[in-house]
């Protein structure tokens, strides 16, 4: 029998709600989500690691990953750039998620341009689906992808959070 993957789950209060942060024993970020979507996060973990393939525990101390994400929310926008990530997903999803990390902070890109960037210009819908399946929100910045007409399109955490994140990164955020 294979030992389950030991994961730590931390809760971080942010200006846009409580964030759940799941890190493995090596300090690699495995998933993030919002506490109002905790069931979705558990489903993701079960899909990618199996029902008995992981064990969630509370850590004894705050991880470097959680400190970096907290610093991002406090205004150090580059704090999340070097956080190591690892997750399941298809090779195509992995390719899209890697491309998301190349979108500069404060910038946005359309689904079509993202598809072209990964050399799959006709895969706009597939890119959108992969973007929507991103298990590591904020750090793998799916919120930076917008509609071709500049509109804010879906975000797993809700459009208000997406709007806040984009304003935070562009320096146009208003106080809540």
| Predicted TM-score of the model (pTM) | 0.92
Determine the Cα angle at 104 with ends 23 and 122, to 5°.
Answer: 95
Q: What is the pLDDT of residue 173?
A: 53
Q: What is the pLDDT of residue 124?
A: 93
Measure the CA–CA gap between 36 and 108, rounded to whole angstroms. Answer: 26
pLDDT in tens, 60-112: 899 999 999 999 999 999 999 999 999 888 999 999 999 999 999 999 999 99
Beta-strand relationship, 145-146 and 29-34: unpaired
> Which of 129, 115, 133, 148 lies closest to 47, judged by CA?
133
- Our separate counts of H helices and E strands in the chain read 6, 6
Question: 175: pLDDT confidence band, cut at 50, 70 and 90?
Answer: very low
Provide the token pair at 65: 């990953």
Measure the CA–CA gap between 54 and 38, rounded to whole angstroms. Answer: 16
Residue 142 bears catalytic tag: yes
Catalytic residue among 142, 145, 146, 165: 142
Measure the CA–CA gap between 68 and 83, rounded to whole angstroms. Answer: 8
What mean pLDDT, rounded, does the chain reach? 92
Average pLDDT for residues 17-35, to the nearest whole number?
96
Average pLDDT for residues 16-23, to the nearest whole number?
97
């Amino acid at each position: 029998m294979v030992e389950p993957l030991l994961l730590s789950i931390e809760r971080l209060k942010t200006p846009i709600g409580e964030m759940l942060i799941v890190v493995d024993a090596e300090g690699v970020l495995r998933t993030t989500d919002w506490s109002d979507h905790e069931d979705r996060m558990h489903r993701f973990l079960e899909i990618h690691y199996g029902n008995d393939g992981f064990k969630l525990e509370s850590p004894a101390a705050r991880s470097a990953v959680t400190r970096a994400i907290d610093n991002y929310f406090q205004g150090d926008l580059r704090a999340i750039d070097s956080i190591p990530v690892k997750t399941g997903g298809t090779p195509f999803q992995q390719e899209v998620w890697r491309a998301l990390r190349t979108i500069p902070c404060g910038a946005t890109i359309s689904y079509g341009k993202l598809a072209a960037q990964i050399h799959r210009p006709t895969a706009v819908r597939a890119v959108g689906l992969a973007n929507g399946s991103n298990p590591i929100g904020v750090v793998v910045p799916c919120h930076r992808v917008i509609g071709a007409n500049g509109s804010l399109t879906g975000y797993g955490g809700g459009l208000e959070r997406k709007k806040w994140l984009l304003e935070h990164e562009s320096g146009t955020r208003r106080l809540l």
